[in-house]
Amino acid sequence: MQAAALLFAALLAHAPGKLVIKDVAKGSGPAAMTGDLLTVEYTGTLLDGKKFDSSKGGAPFAFELGAGQVIPGWDKGLLGMKAGGKRHLTIPSEMAYGDAGSGPIPPRATLNFELELLRIDKKGATPHVTITTTKRGTGPGAKEGESVVVHYRGTYLNGTQFDSSYDRHQPFAVTIGQGTIKGFGQGLVGIKMGEKRTVVIPSALAYGPGGRGPVPANMALKFELERVAK
């Protein structure tokens, strides 16, 4: 009996684990599908609660769902999520880093992740900027090819700042449609003197799969813009 119990315990220890998905908040809009570009905020912990990685305080993480760019537990565990949704995943080692482990993650470790889906860029969709006017300006709106002077603050979708002309106390002179990322110029079309805008730019109209400087690959960006001079 003792030998049988030991054998059962050994088999149980090596039995494949199960991916456990728990929705904390549902989100809204279209569901994430294979081939979509997802931008997520995450924190990963071991079963004893020890944190091994987190995007908080830095850039979020963007990847193509189902393309093998992340561990299998993410590719399967994020299917069906909606933007704004929050999900808890418990991922067995077979769907994470397996017998080898990785960095601070020991071999055969089951992992917990708290994830928030910040944005979905649907596969095949035409990218476009989203503009929200937060303060109305006066006079004529800026046109394509026109030079304007603006202050800006650039953040990731989780609110972490990566650049700011306000911090340098030096506004930025730009000719709309030239010398900046495409989405930045599009976000300035029609802006009036004194006007403030919040502009969200998809990765395809920002720095794309290559990223640039502190901006990682495939990262959507948010800019607070203020026109301060002609």
The half-sphere exposure of 101 on its side-chain side, counting CA atoms within 13 A, is 9
DSSP state of 93: G
Closest CA to 40 of 219, 202, 227, 174: 219
* pLDDT tens profile 180-226: 899 999 999 999 999 999 999 999 999 999 999 999 999 999 999 99
Specify the amino acid at residue 143. K
* Token duo for residue 83: 């933007």
Alpha-carbon dihedral sign for residues 22, 40, 43, 68: positive
Active-site residues: which are they? 42, 52-53, 71, 97, 113
- Which among 117, 97, 12, 118 has a CA at the least distance from the CA of 46? 97
pLDDT at 164 over 60: yes
- pLDDT higher than threshold 60 for residue 82: yes
List, in sequence order, every beta strand (DSSP E) within 103-188: 111-121, 130-135, 147-155, 161-164, 172-175
User: Given a cut of 50, is residue 33 above it in pLDDT?
Assistant: yes
Q: Which residues pair with 160 in a beta bridge?
A: none
CA angle 124, 181, 216 (to 5 degrees): 75
In the prediction, which pLDDT does 209 show?
96
Q: Tell me, what's the pLDDT at 216?
A: 97
DSSP 205: G
